[in-house]
Amino acid sequence: MSKYADIAQNIRHEIKSGVYAPGTSLPDQKSMAANFHTSRMTLQKALDLLKTEGYLYSQQGAGTFVKYNADSLVNMDIGVDQYVGTTELLGPKHKVDSRIVSFNLRYPTEIEQEKLALSATQVIYDIVRARWVDDEPYALEYTKMPVELIPNIDETVLKQSIYQYIENTLGLQIGSAFRRIEARRSTLEDIKQLNILPEDPVLVVTNIVYLADGRPFEYSKTHQRSDKSHFSIFVSGRTHEPH
């Protein structure tokens, strides 16, 4: 743990435990740095962290303040790690399993070539899985991945988590993700697999997921039951007051 992360942890704790109440200002950087036995530069890096996390904001010339909604952040289950697969998102409290609807190898369509940065003859997996949570259908996943980048996928892997296979077995690092979320009427396949009524809509999430070095490895569409799923995001604004 680096020193500034340590200091940030400390201040975070002080905010949560009420030492610094929302809306009040922190001591000035110079004396805080002295308290933590560090330079002002290091302290500032710690404060920067807390600003991007949404706990603090500062105003040049006036001071550094605790945001009024700092304590409500504690109750939010959102992080940068939102890209993790369904398995990890739901946690160990629930029983999650995947039923493979179909699993094929084929050449990519033009759209798939574009999204996955492939040529016309680089083979992809075309996977359709129904995700069940606590013995109820939850989502229908249409996943496309390049074979070259993610080799040796078989039914055993599909029944577990593909993400864990990529990180642990292949040793690749998952990076950022691009997502598009929309509401759609359910298709016949949705009605059948998700056990819903024709008038129930689905939440369609289109994902393009990249490795840490930026190579795309997954292009997927997930049809989620609208009564069982939603998306939450926290959009953090500017950390400084604009001048």
Applying CB under 7 A, the residues found at the interface with DNA are 2-6, 26, 28-30, 37-42, 44-45, 47, 58-64, 240-241, 243
Amino acid at site 222: T
CA distance 209 to 177: 4
Residue closest to 67 by CA, chosen among 46, 47, 38? 47
Quick check: 107 binds a copy of itself (CB under 8 A)?
Answer: no
- Taking CB within 5 to 8 Å according to partner kind, which of a copy of itself, DNA, none is near residue 3? DNA
Residue closest to 216 by CA, chosen among 139, 150, 141? 150
Quick check: 131 binds a copy of itself (CB under 8 A)?
Answer: no
- Taking CB within 5 to 8 Å according to partner kind, which of DNA, a copy of itself, none is near residue 4? DNA
Judged by CB, which is closer to a copy of itself: 83, or 158? 83
Residue 214 tokens read as: 């930026």
How near is the Cβ of 197 to a copy of itself at its closest, in Å? 10
Mark the segment that binds a copy of itself (CB under 8 A) among 10-18, 26-34, 101-109, 210-218: 210-218
CB 114 within 8 A of CB 221: no
Looking at the DSSP bridge assignments, the partners of residue 197 are none
Q: Token match 């009564």: residue?
A: 227
Quick check: 182 binds a copy of itself (CB under 8 A)?
Answer: yes
From residue 55, give the alpha-carbon distance in Å to each of 3, 64, 149, 219. Answer: 19, 11, 39, 34
CA distance 198 to 191: 6
Q: What are the phi and psi torsion angles at 141 (to 5°)? A: -110, 125
Quick check: 91 binds a copy of itself (CB under 8 A)?
Answer: no
CA distance 172 to 166: 6
Quick check: 175 binds a copy of itself (CB under 8 A)?
Answer: yes
Q: Token match 């939603």: residue?
A: 230
How near is the Cβ of 45 to DNA at its closest, in Å? 6
- Taking CB within 5 to 8 Å according to partner kind, which of a copy of itself, DNA, none is near residue 201? a copy of itself
Judged by CB, which is closer to a copy of itself: 37, or 230? 230
Judged by CB, which is closer to a copy of itself: 31, or 234? 234
Interacting residue ranges for a copy of itself, rule: CB under 8 A? 22-23, 54, 57, 65-70, 76, 80, 82-83, 117, 173-185, 198-203, 210-216, 226, 229-238, 241-242
